[in-house]
Structure 1
Amino acid sequence: MNSVRITYDSEGDTLYISFGQPRGGTGYQISDQILLRLEPAGCVPVGLTIFNFLHHINSGQGIELDDVDDDLATALASKPVSQFLRVRKHNGKLAAYLREPSLREAVST
């Protein structure tokens, strides 16, 4: 991973994570709480947005994911996304768990 830029909007409780140099990407709403952006020409992650961030980081519970195809599952399980989210099965469905402590430290409350 070349560089990571993390921006937190405290008013909207939204965490924005950009991977590498700024570039366009196609957004995939993998839940009502997570948006994953990938390069249009492949499955290379360019960004990740987490809505209601503090709620999720403080709850310690997973965020249930919508139907995720194989390409999205691969992107979620690979670096750099896997450094911020851990995806595993919970009650027969995929769920994303925010990794700690790096994300908590990224946002001073």
Structure 2
Amino acid sequence: MSAAALPGYCKAFPLAEFRRFPGWAAAAAPAQAGLGDDDLGYLGDDFAVRADPVTGEPLLFGGDAAGWREFCTAELGFAVPADLADTADSENQGGQRNG
């Protein structure tokens, strides 16, 4: 995985927290099966869960299951901190070209 594909922000949670999501077992990657409930997963601003926030590998959960984003925000309280979101927005706007 290239660094460009990594999320800009991530937050660690014990896998037990992610596994509370009803669709986790059906959609999780095989790599997560060997990890315990106390092992950490890193939830990125793209809503994917990775085992390593630096390399992005392995991917534990793709983040596209129905209801997943709502679970992350409502149940886990996941949100990109406002000061980081503002920084990312201003950097993205500065690098965009129109036309």
* TM > 0.5 fold call: no
Identify which of structures 1 and 2 has the higher relative contact order when contacts are C-alpha pairs closer than 8 Å and 6+ apart.
2
Structure in which a larger fraction of residues adopt strand = 1
TM-score (norm 2): 0.27
Structure in which a larger fraction of residues adopt helix = 2
